[in-house]
Structure 1
Amino acid sequence: YKAGLFCFEKNLNKKAIIYLKEAATLYGKDKDFKKVMKIYSNIGLIYSNLDEYDKSLLYFKQSLKIRKSIGNETDIASGLLDLAYILSVQQDYKNAILNILKALDMANKNQEPKLVLISYNMLAENYQKAGNMQKAAEYMDKFATYRQHYEKSQSKERVSEERIKSVAEISMKDAENRAKQLELELIRKNKEIAEDTLNRKIKAREDSLVIAEGKIALEQSKYEQAEKDRLLAESKSKAEKAQQRLIYAVGIAVITIILLVAFLLILNIRRRKRHNRQLQETNDEIEKQKRNIELKNNELTDAFNKIEEQNNDINASINYAVNIQSSMLPSQDSLQKLIPESFILFKPRDKVSGDFYWFKDTIVNPGKADQHKKIFVSAIDCTGHGIPGAFLSMLSYNLLDNIIEQKKVFKPGEILDELHDGVRKSLRQNESRNRDGMDMAICSYNPDNNILEFSGAKNPMIYIKDNKLHRVKGSIKPIGGILYDKNETLSFSTTTVEIDSPTTVYIFSDGYADQIGEQTGRKLMTRFFRNLLGDIHNKPLNEQRDILDMFLKKWQGNIEQVDDIVVIGFKLFPQ
């Protein structure tokens, strides 16, 4: 348990969770449920710091369950506030408020002023986030009033305690001061007597010491003079010997220097001759390399000219591919003719794109009693990008047209099944090593009966109705590509949504969420992208497209675009 708390203090969160879970198991075996309760609360707090709110909620609930079994209402109120905090982070304000109200009732009942203050503050915040400003203001007033009352009561208790303490301290200090004054006076008298006695003794000794010191000084002066005379004689003798040694040393040094200079001159002459010979050889080698470099430069110039010519041919081919893809894809304005409230944000990473959009309207069962119109909209993300992705996009586009127009398949899940088989057959993936494929989301809308149908190959659909965001996941199976045994017989399912009120729908590839930001160096991530769609869904669709485009540019900064991007949004109204 202590090891877990130590790791938590050092921000080693994952290790802390492992130690705390082991501690909870041991305390559980000993039936020490109060310790288990505290450990579960600490684990919930660590998971909330890691933004893993579902796991945090689970452990706070387990801690609350133990608190309720123990029956201490103060602990139960604290557990309810922990749970309400996580619910508030998950934007479940209704349940968060219910838990806080229960905690407030228990705090008032048990006279826990700190818990009452926390409850009032959390109620004000949650009502504000839920949009109920009247309730938020009411509880904020209660919070301010209660805090003022609580601080006054605490202040009165402290003042009373300080007054009692100050009277006692003053009496004690007076007594102590009087005792210290008497003690200091006694010490001063004793010191004066001792100093007088000591001065008399010192005076007597000083008289005798002066005579003795005079004698000693005379003898010392005689000894020092004799010592000086001896040292002077020794110094003269040493100086004479040193001078003789110096003369010998200088003579030897001069002879050595002359011999050394002569040797260095001979050595330098030989070195110069050798250096000049090497320099000539180096110049010859440089001249040879210069001729080789000129030949290489000529070869490189020819190669560069050929590469430039090939590059021009490739660019011409790519530009032609751009024209082909542009002519194949319908204009974005065409979607607004089918669904007036709609937009398409299409941003290829290169000149041609592996992501593309597809939409079509058709009459189902023409001439029959159940004749009705269907509008199909799809966002497709092919394997790779650039030229390879563009080839696959053209193949898929034609297969989709054929499935609707020739095979008369109109249910989104069945359309994906047919497209999956078509891609695998067209690329002979059962026979070859080709594993290209795509992820996609497709919607069909019947305006006659207000029914929207969806199916996805790994990609989801998001729709917002009555200001509530819904996410419909796609199948784990892609279109084409690698097949796994567990997915061999898996068919794509179709999800139905009734359009009984204005509904905004979004389908997209993963390029927007995967874009890396210049400031953070990290991906935008799907959760942030969902929140962004939730924030702008009430705005006009054309304005939404501009907001998404401007936000992406600001997020991306000077970082290169990492993938093709397609985002489709449209708003449906019940007919």
Structure 2
Amino acid sequence: MLKLYFLISVFFITTTSIAQVDSLLVLARNNKDKKQYVTAFKYYYQVNTLLKKEKDLKNLISSYIETASLCNEWQVYNQAAHYFQKAQEVLNELSPKDLSEKTIFLTLKTAKAHENDKSYPESIRMYEKYLNLTTGQSSNSEKQEALSNLANLYNLQNQYKEGLSKNLEALTIYEQIGNTTSQATTLNNIGFGYKKLQDNSKAIEYFEKSIALQNQQGLKNKSDYRTVLINVAILYQAEKNFSQAKKYLLEAEKSLNADVSAKEFEKADIFDLMSKTYFYSGEIEKAEKYCNQAIQNSIKSGNLEAKKSAHETLSLVYATRNQNNTALEEYTHYKKTSDSIFKIRLAYQDEILRRKQLSEEVENELKLLQAEQEMKTLDLKNFTLNAEKKEQAFKIEQQQKNLALAESEQQRLAEQARLSSLLIERQRQESVLQQQALDLAQQTNRLREAELQNAKIQQEAYNTEQHRKEEILLRDKKLKEIELQNEIETRKNQQILFLLIGGGVLSFLGLAIFGYIQKRKDNNRLKKQKKIIEETNVLLKEQRLEILEKNDELNSTNEELSSAIETISLQKNELEDKNRSILDSINYAKRIQQSLVPSEETFQKYIPESFVLYLPKDIVSGDFYWLYEGENFVIVAVMDCTGHGVPGAFMSMIGANMLDKIVKEDKILVPNKILERLDLYVKKAIENENHQLIDGMDGVIVLWDKINKELQYAGAVNSIYMIKNQGFEEIRGDVYHIAGVSFEEDVMKQFTLHTIPITEPTTIYMASDGFQDQMGGEKRKKFMTKKFKQLLLDNHLLKMSQQKQLLLETLHEWKGNIVQTDDILVIGMQL
């Protein structure tokens, strides 16, 4: 009866599964049209499961393709690629002869899905596979598009030679079929490739060909035409040929004004580029004009990149004019716009990640439900068999348990007998040992009593001998005292007699000599006093005359001093006003600098066991630190800029801004590559023609990979200090500074990447040179690096907050009343 029920149930489920496919497909497509992507995905998954179960491979391929198309529309591109590949896998099970066109179709779709997901290496692989599959076939729009996309992907991967090769191949095809519009676009792309390969003459040649072709076709007022003009202008601008750059930009502006369909977004980009060209060529007024136009167009169109760039250029314009407050306001706008762009990108990435996670969660949920359903079916199918197996297994298990219990009981009895034997032997040995210990104790007591008796007899003999010796000594001492007393009394009597006789004689002689000497002294004293009085009278007369003359001079000098004091007072008031204005500007700069540097609380949010000791010498600082948190990693930079105060602060703001651009916009995350790009950007930011560059910065950049437990580090002059297992290690940076060389040399620096596995608790320290260079101590010398490193090693086991406090106390004790020498920055992290 049970088996009959099973067969009926299987037949019913199979029939129901086949009937469900059409209705589930309708539901999936309706929800897709309504953009209810999660619900549609669930229905498609159920369709795929049923078709796979029934081995309906042709319909399963179609269903997988529809599922992939849904994921494309949903912007979950990794899942789209996954389902296109699953369709290909099922297709491979069928005869490939009749379905070769579908293989080509799926390969192209998979390549595009990987491209949209930014999985560029995989996308390149699939595009190359697609082109191989279509070798020998006539060219079509899809093949031409694939070539262009592949060229672009190679460029995105910095494989410019491969990209150029694909663009040249595409150009040949466009020339063969006579597609002049695509020819013009591809000529521009080829020019871009040559520019990236630093063959500027070739780049200009192909750009000019593109421009000429578009002129022939009457496309002068189109966006693609302006794109080529801008590319040529950028190339000339990089070569500092500003006159040629302006020529092409003015042509682009002319085309822009003639094109009624031109978008505000494009206008913002072109005006922003023109403002930069005019600024770097020294035409400040025109630079300001185009900056303002770019800002207006960017606000209308929402072009945040152009708005950010224009505010940055406008800040430099005002700084050139020494309008510092206005420059700082523009810089604040630039910073806010940059932060907005970063937040938008981050939000977009978060949304894509959320969709990916949601699709995976839905798929896992459906897999779980499917597994539960299969388990129920399997339970029904195997119910009878399992019951029999369980009964048989239960009997075998019981027999094994009984056998095991018997063996266990035998082992327990044998172990008990062995333990009893051991216990009896142990008790016997303990009894023997106790008797031996008792005998030894008695013998020891007898020896101790004999030793005490012997010692008592020796002590009594010694005491008797000592008593006898003391009596003899006492008798001899009394005899000597009596003899000494008699001798002293005899000598006393003799001395008294001699003193009485000598005293009388000396008294008489003394009186006579004293009277003579006293009289002689009185006479000499009277003569000297008389002479002094005469000389003093003469001197007083001379001094009186001099005082009268000096009174006249003082009266004249007083009048001159009164006039000078009044002048100085006016100058003092003027200087105080200027100083107040300068301080206001510096304090405003301080607020901007504080907005760029994360607080210690923010720092500890990402690295909890850490401290930041940040002590500017003046109101603003030339030292700064910078922080960026990515997915499962944190990047920290500690930089020491040239100088301190306002010049140093200006460099620090440039540095922080450039680090934002490198990491957040250029997506460069490797420390040594960050330093190389920072060196390039800082040079460009503070470039001054025919001037030897002395401004720059030193510093370190570390990346803490939380997943792989790995620290990456690169340094420009400065080192990091690492302590683990009580061992101190200094990892030195390269000898290069950031900037600090002439632009004519165009030095391309290569910084070293150090990779350190963190397999045990490790403390890392990063610092500028301010602490080590602080003057102080008894000899008023520098603190020195050696002493600083020993200080870190001696206290690295303390809590981070305690280490910071100890560094502060040590610094104050060392410098005493001496002013702070330089900006001070020390960061500690326990990983």
Q: Which structure is richer in relative contact order (CA contacts within 8 A, separation 6 or more)?
A: 1
Q: Decide which structure has greater strand share.
A: 1
TM score, norm. by length of structure 2? 0.34
User: If each structure's helix is expressed as a fraction of its own residues, which one has the higher value?
Assistant: 2
TM-score normalised over the length of structure 1: 0.48
Question: Which structure has the bigger radius of gyration?
Answer: 2
